[in-house]
Structure 1
């Protein structure tokens, strides 16, 4: 039997296929450009070198998922699915679970309706998440479908960390509070870090840094999230590829007045036209900006300096919030390209016991391996750990199907026990 995990966005989906119960990885892939009117871009891996290709136009997530399933079952293309090895469970990433969902749950009509209701808090994310669920329910009706929420891991935030200094009715009536995102990634990074430290996660103080298209930090004590940089929306926090991060809240009103922009237009600017690409003015993505900064381009270098400075301030804040920490853990979204950035952003933190080993940090071999980049006897260990959110999705899906799933900070994960 097999288990499929899905992470669906507005114009893309990412999937992983596992054999159960061992959760052996069989396939991974992405489809990009869905619903754009152009041929989609496909990248996939069946345990051999990654293959890329162009496909016909796919206008919806249901068409895209049907295409993925066709390739997974294609014997001529080496697809890993064969008769008798059917998909019996599907784990779906859902970005926003509000305060309603504190753990992963089996999807039924009531859960699907609640995910739809929560779209008002995250329309850019929950809407395609729900469309992906509906596509999978249509194409794989006999499977057990499970929702895994980005926000669930952060439900341990204390009230003083998740409340905003705003009228209390905004929270009571409209749910305006800090929720945090990238929960499965922060969970995975923290559990793997504790394993590498040789300690129970309950005895660790950790800062995890998720660095992909979106960037967020999390302060973790006793295995629980106690603060996180993203807030009511993923825009809050440090600057990201396209998101502004935290800015003066007076700026949107000022620009709406002077450029006669609507609230929706300002939201679009903060979500899609700011961050690194906003500062640089153009670019294909974060990797492109890093490469241009390394080549000496002034605005790209400024953008990366801004990113590093913002990350350093958050690290300092979380070191204070935790009263020190045992390890700072980085994911590695851009691999070896991020080595100079880590060196830059960690400068000045030596007074807090944070020391970087330049040689270990610069090592570009085995980018998918977990490695320590601090001196052996450092008070605060520094680790690079490639994040594996799909492992969280898969294990939670198995646990829900078995009726043994708990809240994420209480759940036992095999990746937290096995090196």
Structure 2
């Protein structure tokens, strides 16, 4: 009998879900419950080519959404009866969780205890776990942590130059995020290179609304751009990325910002959206730039410039590079961003094949470099498959 895993990715106001076949990675059913807690809460899902939208109750909770997802599964009886486990994306695992694990009361409490390090994510993850346990009480539930892939970072890379007691007493350090994506595409890159992952030196750039870049040496992460929270590092859709910390104190002391207002500014009002004053969507900005919008051009120029700087710095630490990998919604699909990035790396041995760069989009993966170039790959990520695989691995351990 075919077995499936239910994969859940719970945000503060949404639940992305997918049913994944455990042997083939096929997704017969996937969807999203969105605008939870608001008047226009809804559930959208696709089954094959059929797409359906359902209105949820006003101010629907995660529990309401999971109940609706459960009812949807009952419509497709063979899917519901073939579920063997539930896998949860959990954003922050701190130093406690170095790999995925079966969820029990102690694990759920530990995830909750780390909410102060990911206040926008971990509480939603816990809400999703609690709701899924109620909806599917007989299925094992597994937590898959964004941060686990980065537990191989050396101490000199993950520590901040702050008083050491802040790390010892409060765990203030770099943790990294998008771990499932970086793990997946690094493994795929090794296959394209026909090498063992342990023999690969890679730079993987996950570029979407959230962006992160990782240096991988001999198959292990040795540095990454996101830090204590997902705010650090590259310029993103609405997040500022790297910034002088004194900007925050200036806003508080001179412009009467509250701490919450500073957090909202840096996380939700900055990045591509803040600079362009138009949108956080790279596609929109590329269209606007083509029509002469200078703010859109500036936003994209800044995005590329900061990405190039990170690639250059990671080239210095990974050793002889096997491949540079682009992934994520922008990395996989924006031939423009890839072209602009590589054009600034020619002096470092990179050159793009324009035809391949145009072709490798919308789910197509492969080399986009010229034969004389250092290897460049565009790889469609599959975080859900990583979660599903780990769920099967850890759900039935004795």
1:48 partnered with 2:44: no
Structure-2 change in CA distance of 1:84 and 1:17 (3 Å) = closer
Structure 1 segment 272-291 matched on structure 2, within 5 A? 272-283=268-279, 285-291=281-287
In structure 2, the CA distance between the partners of 1:289 and 1:36, relative to structure 1 (3 Å rule), is: farther
Tell me what 1:407 maps to.
Answer: none
Instruction: Decide which moves more: 51-60 or 320-329.
Output: 51-60
2:329 is paired with a residue of what secondary structure? coil
Q: How does 1:168-187 map to 2 (within 5 A)?
A: 168-187=164-183
Q: What count of residue pairs does the alignment treat as equivalent?
A: 395
Greater shift, 317-326 or 111-120, is seen at 317-326
1:142 matched to which residue of 2?
138
SS in 2 for 1:217: strand
Question: Where do residues 182-193 of structure 1 align in structure 2 (5 Å cutoff)?
Answer: 182-193=178-189
Q: Does 1:196 align with 2:196?
A: no
**CA deviation after TM superposition for structure 1 residue 134, in Å:** 0.5
Secondary structure, counterpart of 2:347 in structure 1: helix
Distance 1:5 1:263, change over 3 A: same
Q: Report the CA distance shift for 1:83/1:54 in structure 2 as closer, same or farther (over 3 A).
A: closer
1:117-159 CA-to-partner distances (Å, cap 9, x unmatched) read 0001111110101100011001001000000000000000001
Partner of 2:394: 400
CA–CA distance in 1 between the matches of 2:206 and 2:105? 33
Counterpart Cα distance in 2 of 1:285 and 1:134:
33
Q: 3-state SS of the aligned residue for 2:127?
A: helix
**Is 2:237–2:280's contact at 8 Å kept on the other side of the alignment?**
no
- CA shift, 1:249, in A, is 1.1
CA RMSD of aligned residues (A): 1.9
- The CA deviation string for residues 95-125 of structure 1, in whole angstroms up to 9 with x for no partner, is 0000000000000000001001000111111
Task: Quote the residue 1:59 is aligned against.
Answer: 60
The structure-2 alpha-carbon separation of the partners of 1:5 and 1:352, relative to structure 1 and needing over 3 Å to count, comes to same
Please state whether the residue corresponding to 2:192 is helix, strand or coil.
Answer: helix
Supply the distance in 1 between the matched residues of 2:90 and 2:351 (Cα, whole angstroms): 37
TM-score (norm 1): 0.90
Equivalent position to 2:292, from 291, 296, 308: 296
CA separation of 1:83/1:377 partners in 2, compared to 1, >3 Å: closer, same or farther?
A: closer
CA distance in 1, matches of 2:333, 2:193: 26
Q: Which moved more, 1:168-177 or 1:17-26?
A: 17-26
Asked if 1:210 corresponds to 2:206, the answer is: yes
Query: For each residue in 1:179-236, what CA deviation from the matched residue of structure 2 results, as whole angstroms up to 9, or x when unmatched?
Result: 0000000000100000011110111100111112100000011111100000111000
Post-superposition CA distance 1:369-397 (Å, at most 9, x none):
2121101343x211111110001100000
- Quick one: distance in 2 between partners of 1:142 and 1:297? 55
Does residue 344 of structure 2 align to residue 348 of structure 1? yes
The answer to whether structure 1 residue 370 and structure 2 residue 356 are counterparts is no
Q: Is the Cα–Cα contact under 8 Å of residues 102 and 395 in structure 2 kept in the other structure?
A: yes
Segments of structure 1 that go 5 or more residues without pairing to the other structure are 405-419
* Deviates most, 14-23 or 202-211: 14-23
Instruction: State the 1:288 CA deviation.
Output: 2.6
- For the 8 Å contact 2:192–2:366, the answer to whether it is kept is no
* Match of residue 5 from structure 2: 3
